[in-house]
């Protein structure tokens, strides 16, 4: 009996250890289940792939990390919790295409508030550069600080305002995402 209980206990420890280091994969890009940002543990809410053109060409695989899992895009955008969006590019993309996509995303999702964000959108766009296959952009919202932006591993700066971070995340989580599968994936569907 004792040996059977030891075997069950050992198996439980192995299963727990294996799940603690698991990662999720989408379209060949792997992300860890958890990360830590400034001492706060974030969990992987979901992965989504940005498809472009009528041919549905994969552009990047996005990962959304949150303090608490959620399938409500609006609530995620509005929450005053730390969150991180990582874009891992699976093809080369020019700076102009990236800035056009951000601008279009704000136009489609910011509504009447677009003019309020104009200067901050220009700042964001000024930090963009050409991206090669395999490179990443990281956007981290820190409550009370703003949206931290890193491009190609280089910290570019912070764009202040919870309102801006909310509008920025609505590009992916709002009513008009670049493609529905991207939004659904980030929301854990």
In-domain check, residue 156: yes
Task: Pull the structure tokens for residue 90.
Answer: 């699976």
Q: How far apart are alpha carbons 15 and 168 in whole angstroms?
A: 38
The domain in which residue 138 lies consists of 23-186
Reported as a pLDDT band with limits 50, 70 and 90, residue 8 is very low
In-domain check, residue 87: yes
Span between the terminal Cα atoms of the chain, in Å = 43
In-domain check, residue 9: no
Total structural domains within the chain:
1
In-domain check, residue 45: yes
User: What's the pLDDT at 119?
Assistant: 97
* Chain centroid offset of residue 168 CA: 11
In-domain check, residue 136: yes
pLDDT digits (tens, 9 = 90+) for 19-45: 444 689 998 999 999 999 999 999 999
Whether the per-residue pLDDT at 182 is higher than 70: the answer is: yes
pTM of the predicted protein model: 0.87
User: What's the pLDDT at 52?
Assistant: 87
In-domain check, residue 56: yes
Task: Pull the structure tokens for residue 40.
Answer: 């706060």
Residue, of 19 and 138, whose pLDDT is higher:
138
CATH number at residue 60: 3.50.70.10
User: What's the pLDDT at 153?
Assistant: 96
In-domain check, residue 3: no
Helices (H), 52-135: 73-78, 95-110, 114-126
């Amino acid at each position: 009996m004792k040996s059977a209980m030891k075997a069950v206990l050992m198996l439980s420890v192995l299963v727990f250890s294996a799940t603690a280091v698991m990662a999720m994969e989408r379209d060949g890009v792997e992300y860890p289940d958890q990360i830590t940002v400034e001492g706060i543990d974030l969990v992987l809410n979901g992965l989504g792939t940005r498809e472009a053109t009528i041919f549905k060409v994969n552009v990047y695989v996005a990962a959304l990390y949150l303090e608490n899992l959620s399938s409500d895009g609006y609530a995620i955008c509005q929450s005053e919790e730390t969150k991180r969006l990582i874009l891992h590019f699976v093809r080369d993309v020019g700076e102009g295409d990236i800035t056009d996509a951000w601008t279009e995303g704000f136009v489609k999702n910011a509504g009447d508030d677009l003019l309020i964000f104009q200067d901050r959108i220009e700042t964001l766009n000024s930090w963009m550069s050409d991206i090669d296959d395999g490179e990443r952009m990281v956007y981290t919202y820190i409550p009370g600080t703003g949206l931290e932006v890193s491009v190609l591993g280089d910290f570019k700066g912070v764009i202040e305002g919870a309102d801006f971070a909310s509008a920025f995340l609505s590009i992916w989580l709002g009513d008009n995402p670049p493609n529905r599968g991207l939004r659904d994936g980030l929301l854990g569907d």
